[in-house]
Amino acid sequence: MAKSMIMCSVIAFLILGGVAVFIAWLADKMKSPTFSLDQAEINGYNFTTNNQFNANFTLVVRSHNRDPKYRIDYNVIVVSVYHSGFTLAYDTLGPYTQSHGDDIIFTAQPIARKVKILDPGMVGSIKNETRAGQLGFEVRVRAAVRYEVKRWKHKKYILRIICTPVLISLASGKTSQSIKCEVDRF
């Protein structure tokens, strides 16, 4: 009788412990922030006859922390401008801190100076887009972040954010609308 009572107590303890671990796991699920590219501008654009790309970009990125518990510390943020899979320019920013429910807006200013374009397909694409008066880019953001609740520090992550397509009019030098970005956390 005593042996069966002990066995029942052990089973009950294991079940309650499993339920507690499951509830803690559910409560600890972090939500990735959302990102949008609110504005993209290009100034000083020039694509030379010897296929050198020059441009000054201004990129305004908005991040919204939708997690109700965690503060996000952004240690390093790298904002890059791509065309046809090739990096044209990048800018490094940070650090930033974002409380739960808050938005942060950061402005990156990547500069492309005499970037030699060697790929013939990319050269043709840029020339065609220039003639059409609208350049297409992809903006990628990588951010080294740490999620934190009160003083309890959680695991560090890398956020990979991709904003595409970013179409900039050469007439105005700006995008026409905000672009929602995809976010991966690893």
**Amino acid letter for position 18:** G
Is residue 83 located within the same domain as residue 172? yes
Q: In which domain, by residue range, is 86 found? A: 31-185
Same structural domain, 7 and 62: no
Model confidence pLDDT, tens digit, residues 2-14: 777 788 887 877 7
Say which CATH number the domain at 123 has: 2.60.40
Confidence (pTM): 0.82
pLDDT tens-place string over residues 124-171? 999 999 999 999 999 999 999 998 887 777 789 999 999 999 999 998
137 and 65, same structural domain?
Answer: yes
**CB half-sphere exposure, 181, CA atoms < 13 A:** 27
19: three-class secondary structure by DSSP: helix
Same domain, 6 and 93: no
Residues forming beta bridges with residue 135, ordered by sequence position:
168
Structural domains in the chain (count): 2
H or E element, residue 11: helix 2-27
Q: What local confidence, expressed as pLDDT, does residue 57 receive?
A: 97
Q: Do 60 and 9 share a structural domain?
A: no
Buried b (16+ CB within 10 A) or exposed e, 17-29: eeeeeeeeeeeee
Indicate if 104 and 178 belong to the same structural domain: yes
